[in-house]
Copies of this chain bind each other. A is one copy, B any other.
């Protein structure tokens, strides 16, 4: 199945027995394999082999294969919320225009992440990583970012107070759902910008 041999870890190609910090190297190797082969079809042995270590070595850092995947999921949630912070931070200003751009950019970043790395997105939201308390925490951070963005929209008079109440929920779920439906080939890619148009319009109105 594996047509081309991948090179070992870049940080420590052939160190003496003890590998600097395996845990990180394993996660890095795993994320690359998942990206290519999907969250199912991840092989523990392949991860170990790519790092240049015995399969058994993995079990000193993760009790399970599923635990490795869960840890990977946590890492991806953090990475994703960092991308959001960068994206929204890149648009400055207190004008209504800036607030609207920020709103759209939050959604776009979410979708771009999903669309550029579908297999990682599937890992995060496909029931692979058992979220106990960690993942929820990171998700709430992204949620707060969206919440703050909607506050700006309300302050600048772009959205109504009524829709402010439901804006978070609708925006988040719609962007999440669109990401899934598009990467699974059920919705066309162009649908996403259209969705953003619709969402912005919906946020404007909504009063009885």
Asked if B38 and A202 sit within 8 Å, CB to CB, the answer is no
A131's partner among B136, B169, B185, B197 (CB-CB below 8 A) is B185
Say which residue of B127, B131, B194 sits within 8 Å of A166 (CB atoms): B194
A102 at the interface (CB under 8 A from B): no
A172 to B178, CA, bound (A): 8
User: Cβ of A172 and Cβ of B177 under 8 Å apart?
Assistant: yes
Query: With an 8 A cutoff between CB atoms, is A119 at the interface?
Result: yes
Q: Hey, what's the 0/1 contact readout for A113-130 against B, CB within 8 Å counting as 1?
A: 000001100100111100
Task: Give complex CA distance A131, B126 in Å.
Answer: 17
Nearest residue in B to A175 (C-beta to C-beta)? B177
Residues of A170-206 at the interface with B, using a CB-CB cut-off of 8 Å, are: 170, 172-181, 183-187, 191, 194-195, 197-199, 201-206
In the complex, residue of chain B having the shortest beta-carbon distance to the beta carbon of A138: B186
The residues of B that contact A139 with a CB separation of less than 8 Å are 186
Residues of B within 8 A of A178 (CB): 169, 173, 176-177
Chain A, range 128-154, C-beta contacts under 8 Å to B: 128, 131, 135-136, 139
Residue A60 interfacial (CB < 8 Å): no
**Once the chains bind, are B185 and A177 in contact (CB under 8 Å)?**
no
Closest CB of chain B to A108's CB: distance in Å?
A: 14
User: For A204, what are the chain B residues with a Cβ–Cβ distance below 8 Å?
Assistant: 205-206, 208
Q: Are A118 and B126 in touch, CB under 8 angstroms?
A: no
In the complex, whether A6 has a CB less than 8 A from a CB of chain B is no
Residue from B126, B165, B170 in contact with A170 in the complex, judged by beta carbons closer than 8 Å: B170
Complex CA distance for A177 and B131, rounded to whole angstroms:
17
Residues of B within 8 A of A205 (CB): 160, 162-163, 202, 204-208
On A, residues with C-beta under 8 Å from B are 38-40, 118-119, 122, 125-128, 131, 135-136, 139, 160, 162-163, 165-167, 169-170, 172-181, 183-187, 191, 194-195, 197-199, 201-208
Pairs A-B, 7 closest by C-beta atoms: A205-B205, A166-B198, A177-B177, A176-B177, A173-B177, A126-B126, A205-B206
